[in-house]
A and B are shown apart, each in its own frame.
Chain A
């Protein structure tokens, strides 16, 4: 069974440019998460979806970040415009959505803003 797939693996952009990340969760997983992991730190939740509904986006910087999950399957995370401080690894994870169900993580997208 395929795991959580993210693309691209790496992205280098200039500041003020837009960037988008894509995530394909495990089939049948209703819950999808986007995390940001800064260098030397643990992941921090940006947004959580239950099916197509964003149920927790309190940590998402809404002035420049946006996300969508069309049809409750794939998801995209966008940054526009990117800033130097956005350089990080962006991780997507999915789970069945029930209490304590394991969250499976993708390999992440490493974003470098120059």
Chain B
């Protein structure tokens, strides 16, 4: 993706928390998203946050947004083996254009 950066890999033990980070460049982006992609599957929207919010929690997922630093993070509590996948952050530019990051591969080991 153009100018949306993520670390490539993250490995965590089952039961621990996972934190996936993302930096973006367009300060005018209105919404920021986290998508999950499992092998051979399309993208599934996990959660999103409006740009005027700092935090959003949804069950095991917590999204933190630092708009000043253009930094977005996704925390997964009590990570399970089923959480193993590639996670993409995305920013909405303009009316309806999503710019995706390069993805972070999360591996959960027992």
Contacts and interface: CB of A to CB of B under 8 A. Distances in A.
Contact of B98 (A45, A97, A108): A45
Interface string B7-39: 000000000000000000000001100000000
B100 A44 contact: yes
Interface residues of B, number: 25
Instruction: Give the secondary structure class of A's interface.
Output: loop
B107 interface: no
B40 A99 contact: no
Contacts of B42: 4, 91, 93, 105-108
A100 B31 contact: yes
A43 B102 CA distance: 8
7 contacts: A4-B42, A42-B102, A43-B1, A91-B43, A93-B43, A99-B30, A104-B45
